[in-house]
Structure formats: C-alpha cells, structure tokens
Amino acid sequence: MTSSVLDLAPVLPVVVLRDAADAVPLARALVAGGLPAIEVTLRTPAALDAIGAIAEGVPDAVVGAGTVVSPRNVADAVAAGARFLVSPGWTDLLLDAMRASGTPFLPGVSTTSEVVALLERGVTEMKFFPAEAAGGTAYLKALSSPLPQARFCPTGGISAASAPTYLALPNVGCVGGSWMVPADAVTAKDWARVERLAREAAALRG
C-alpha cells in the first residue's frame, strides 16, 4: 500500500452497506473502475462484515472504515481488516487510539484550530468534513497559505461536478464522495453502472 491514503486515487468512495453480501461485487466494480481505496462507513450493522468480506475477497482493494468515533470502533475496524481509518472529527482519546492501532488514519477537521492542533501532534493528513457546509473550496484555499503542510480529503456534499474544483487545490490529495455508489444502483445490484461511474470519477484528475 502506498504511504498515503490520499494518493491512491483522486476519489475515495464513501460506501454505506446494509447487506454484507453486496460488499465484494461492489468493491470489485469500484476497483475495476479505477478506485481501489474504499471507505465503508460504520453506520450499519453490516459494516464490519462488509469490511471483512472485501479484505478477504478483493485483494486489489484497499478497504478502510469510516465514521470511526470511538476507540472501540478503531479496534473493531482493524480486527475486521480495515487498512485505514477515517473519522468525522477527533478528540485526544480517539486520536491516541487511531495512532496506537498502527493503521493509517484521516481524522476529521472543520476549523483552522483543529488543523493546527493536529499539526502540533504530528498529523499532516486529514479529512475536511463536512466540506461544503464548512466552507468548501474557498475555505481550503484560504488554509493553503498559512498551513501548507496540511493535506486534506474533503468529504461531505461533494459531487462529480464540484470534485474537480477541489482536486485543483494544492492541499487536496483526494475527495470523498458517494455519487459513484448511488443507493438505487446498489439495491438493484447494477455493478456495471457502479463501475462506469467509478471510471468517470477516477478520470476527474486527468
């Protein structure tokens, strides 16, 4: 695995799975479309089983856990096979647990003070969330001059149309989004559509 989750692909799919049986075919479609890193959010009872299924069944995928909000989430996700961790925000307790896990992680931030606090702790890669609600590209662009060492994966409200504007910023490594895994496609098990949308997303940074 590359040293940074931010460098695996221009887009990090944010996936909510209600049936672990969908995990492997969905992951295969995303990987085939050029998006190997997959964030499975811990928002459903099926999430940990889905992470385990992808880790075991799709070796070309780099599966991670999202919505990590507690040390228990960290332990469960790593035990399930998660290769990176993403949180919507952070506390010292959560940060310590993620760091102690030895697994790459992206703690969530939405203010300048949170960014500075993480930089003080030696963390330079972060999730910017909720991206659109927290100021979008204008906010991230404003951060790039005083805090050039911070790199971000903005997530939250980003679409195929707005993603290129984020990706053009010097402090954005990738963006997170779910537009390439629409709920109706997952329900219909239309993996060909997911692969097509993933390929379009992978091409956003030409």
Q: How many CB atoms lie within 10 A of CB 202?
A: 17
d(CA 70, CA 191) in angstroms, rounded, equals 32
Per the annotation, the verdict on 39 as an active-site residue is yes
User: Of 39, 114, 189, 200, which residue is the catalytic one?
Assistant: 39
Q: How many residues does the chain have?
A: 206
d(CA 130, CA 128) in angstroms, rounded, equals 6
Do the beta carbons of residue 132 and residue 105 sit within 8 Å? no
Do the beta carbons of residue 9 and residue 174 sit within 8 Å? yes
User: Of 114, 125, 127, 195, which residue is the catalytic one?
Assistant: 127
d(CA 57, CA 191) in angstroms, rounded, equals 16
Q: How many CB atoms lie within 10 A of CB 59?
A: 9
Catalytic residues, by residue number, are: 39, 127
